[in-house]
Amino acid sequence: MIFDPSRYVAPGIGGPQGFKPIRKNIYLPVQAQVQEVCRENDLVKTFVFEFGDPLVNQEFTYEPGQFMMVSMPHCGEAPISFSSSPSRGGSFALTVRRAGRLTTAMHRLRPGDTIGVRGPYGRPFPMAELAGRNLLFVAGGIGLAPLRSVISFCLDNRADHGDITLLYGCRTPADICFADDLEHWRQAGVTCLCTVDEGDGSWPGRVGLVTELLPEVEVDAASWRALVCGPGVMIHFVVSRLLEMGFPRAHIYTTLERHMKCGVGICGHCFLEEKLICREGPVFSLNELDDTRNL
């Protein structure tokens, strides 16, 4: 199917319905300053940012599942999901895996350095729909980053949510992210089960695919909601297993990252299954997706 932007972008609107960008010009980034840098593993770091303008810091809001378009001079621009809870105002966190020119440059950032950001963009997780529900999170690798935003928000508003279970899989023990958060979440009452594809002599935990953890959790598929994030192949097999367990398609949510370019539904670069991922996603319920093999 040929991409027709007029089907998706209303006249005079350059971004998702109802979003509140930092600037009226949605293509013009603003500066955000690094406040903290946390090394998650050899390839992943979490950065905490604030805006230089205190008023912007005060008014800036976002929701779990949304993303920012991040840029640095001579390095290009890329979408990066929030990994912090929006209920902790005044700053925001982005977790970055070193992979290309921009992310390599970001890994050299120190407190006091600045980057360009625009946003927030994208459709978030439906937190109102998730309120009062038992939640099952399934994450692979750095896919835990956007789910960290949701889990932290749920714990900040603990009375609004039921039981919380996290199944987390990584390739090796060295690839695990947010080790301190995992321990904090356990202490806060979250059931956290972790596994790695390839163990080593120092790894005391489970070895195997994250899908192998699903039989170990007791969930009522009709009343729980599942949030899945990670590599496309992992999402496909996790979703298939959840459907076998009886989860309705409308009760499974996932995030898609499909080579987003503009972030606001103009360029069509992220067009997939007749959807603009940056504008209509990146969060989707499974009943909005035809085939998870294409993720």
pLDDT at 68: 94
Vertex 109 angle, CA 106 and 114, to 5° = 90
92, 121, 150 - which closes a domain = 121
Contact 154, 162 (CB under 8 A): no
pLDDT of 142-199, one tens digit each?
999 999 999 999 999 999 999 999 999 999 999 999 999 999 999 999 999 999 999 8
Vertex 201 angle, CA 196 and 207, to 5° = 25
pLDDT at 12: 34
Contact 142, 237 (CB under 8 A): no
pLDDT at 293: 60
What are the residue ranges in the chain where pLDDT is below 50? 1-18
Instruction: Give the predicted TM-score (pTM) of the model.
Output: 0.88
Take residue 240 and report the two structure tokens written for it.
């298939």
Take residue 42 and report the two structure tokens written for it.
């050899």
Contact 86, 149 (CB under 8 A): yes
89, 121, 153 - which closes a domain = 121
CB atoms within 10 A of CB 84: 21
Domain of 87?
5-121
Helix (H) or strand (E) holding 170: strand 164-170
Short-list 77, 63, 73, CA closest to 121: 63
Q: Are residues 196 and 288 in the same domain?
A: yes
pLDDT of 277-293, one tens digit each?
777 878 999 998 876 66
Q: Are residues 208 and 270 in the same domain?
A: yes
pLDDT at 6: 37
Take residue 166 and report the two structure tokens written for it.
């996290």
